[in-house]
Amino acid sequence: MKLLLKNAYLLKDPFSQIQKTNLLIQDGKISKIGEIQEDADQVYDLSGKLVMPGLVNCHTHAAMTLMRGIAEDMNLEDWLNKKIFPIEAKLTAEHVYYGTMIAQMEMARKGIVAYVDMYFHCDSVAQAAVDFGMKALITRGLVDIDGDGERRLKENILFFEKWNGKDGLIEVGFGPHAPYTCSLKYIDKVAYVAQQLNAPVTIHLYESRSETYQLEDILSTNLANCKVIFAHCVHLKDEYIPLLAKENFFVAHNPTSNLKLGNGIAPIKKLLDHGVQVCLGTDGAASNNTLDILHEMRLATLLQKMNDPSNITVEQALCMATIFGAKASGLTSGKLQVGEDADLIVLDVQRPWFLPFENMKAHLVHSASSLDVFATMVKGKWIYYDGNYPTVQIKEIIEGFENSVRDLTQNNV
């Protein structure tokens, strides 16, 4: 199957200049950029539209769309213990499937081509991703403080064996929840297993003020030898920052969730200055309440500019949303170049807030919104196009989602 995207403005990566050109996509990959004479099976005239690398959501709990708006105006501890954990105890595989599907519909509408998920009923998450056609790094949330950590780890291993690499869409990792829900011994064991399987790890780190453990202790485990996405890192001591400046470490910054739960602002400028690779996440919809990386990119930038407007350049912001996110997830390249998967988004830039055109990269960070996303493509297939979701039956998904919400919230709100 050949697709021709013609007359588009193209941003290959955050550091390139925008050019007007054509893209030929063959068998899910970009096969040519420039003047194209050959025929294609489908031709799309994208005049007045910009094509850029798809966005990556590097930290979320997709199925928590089921709990959107159910726990407002609470700190993290109360939010978890009084609202979220009681509902999660009732979750079934079917609930998680529909919650994930709704999350993917939202993310695709907002230009996200890949996401990193930590949750449970992982078979349902993976099936939803494959059914929808979105890329996902899926980790089973692992906890051992209740004495049931071994069972969960075995589940994660079996899930890895079943799903890793499925359809070129799924990567499986391991998700020790946090140092306050996992013992050091358990983190070490999980990381050892991940290392043996060459699988990535994601873990919550210093999200709230109450987290006072020592980072040296965490990094004395096998975690130091794994590819790791550390989510949040809000209350990270300055002396710890250089410890995260490693090729195999990434920090997933979730500014909206951190603010909404009253946790504060992560030291992103300091992290970047020390060479730490920072990507962006939304966290779950229960604490955000949207799944919108364009919004996170702008907010992350503005929060760091609060005391110094030179903090966080446009290119750095775009890099967090694309290249670093792609590298952290391992799911896509974050660049549009020949030979890479066609994981891209199309924005309608014939709008007043994208003028003057010469400053387009700044507009993408500071003026664009998810409503400007015209289409989203993963591996050469449209998963969202001009108001439509070609891969799914919207009515059935919404009905299944609403039934799931009723199941979960009955006698629980």
Residue 88 assigned as binding residue: yes
DSSP β-bridge partners for residue 229: 202, 250
Percent of the chain with pLDDT over 90: 96
Q: What is the pLDDT of residues 230-278, one digit of tens each?
A: 999 999 999 999 999 999 999 999 999 999 999 999 999 999 999 999 9
- Global model pTM greater than 0.95: yes
The answer to whether the annotation marks 238 as part of a ligand binding site is: no
Q: Per residue in 303-349, pLDDT tens?
A: 999 999 999 999 999 999 999 999 999 999 999 999 999 999 999 99
Q: What is the pLDDT of residue 412?
A: 55
DSSP annotation of 354: G
First to last CA, the chain: 49
Using DSSP's 3-state secondary structure scheme, residue 89 falls into coil
Q: For the stretch 117-137, what's the b/e string if a residue is b when 16 or more beta carbons lie within 10 angstroms of its beta carbon?
A: bbbbbbbbbbbbbeebbbbbb
At 290-312, the pLDDT tens digits run 999 999 999 999 999 999 999 99
Reported as a single tens digit per residue, the pLDDT across 260-270 is: 999 999 999 99
Is it the case that residue 352 has pLDDT exceeding 80?
A: yes
Helix (H) or strand (E) holding 32: strand 29-33
Binned at pLDDT 50, 70 and 90, residue 413 comes out as very low
Exposure string over 241-256, b if 16+ CB within 10 A, otherwise e: bebbeeeebbbbbbbb
pLDDT digits 0-9 by tens, 62-73: 999 999 999 899
- 140 labeled binding residue: yes
Residue 55 has pLDDT above 80, yes or no: yes
What is the predicted pLDDT for the residue at 411?
60
Cβ partners under 8 Å of residue 58, min gap 6: 115, 116, 229, 250, 252, 279, 280, 281, 325, 328, 329
**61 appears as a binding residue in the annotation:** yes
State pLDDT tens for residues 151-175.
999 999 999 999 999 999 999 999 9
Question: Is 283 annotated for ligand binding?
Answer: yes
- What are the structural domains, with CATH classification, of the chain? 2-53+336-385 (2.30.40.10), 55-329 (3.20.20.140)
pLDDT at 38: 87
Q: What would the pLDDT profile of 175-226 be if each residue is shown by its tens digit?
A: 999 999 999 999 999 999 999 999 999 999 999 999 999 999 999 999 999 9
- The average confidence (pLDDT) of the chain is 97
366 is in an annotated binding site: no
Question: What CA–CA distance (Å, rounded) separates 342 from 382?
Answer: 10
Query: Cα(295)–Cα(254) distance, rounded to whole angstroms?
Result: 11
Residue 325, both tokens: 């996110």
pLDDT higher than threshold 90 for residue 12: yes
C-alpha span between 90 and 92 (Å, rounded): 7
Tokens describing residue 174: 């391991």
Q: How sure is the predictor about 76, in pLDDT bands with cuts at 50, 70 and 90? A: confident
| pLDDT, position 324 | 98
Residue type, 346: V
Q: Supply the Cα-derived Rg of the chain in whole angstroms.
A: 21
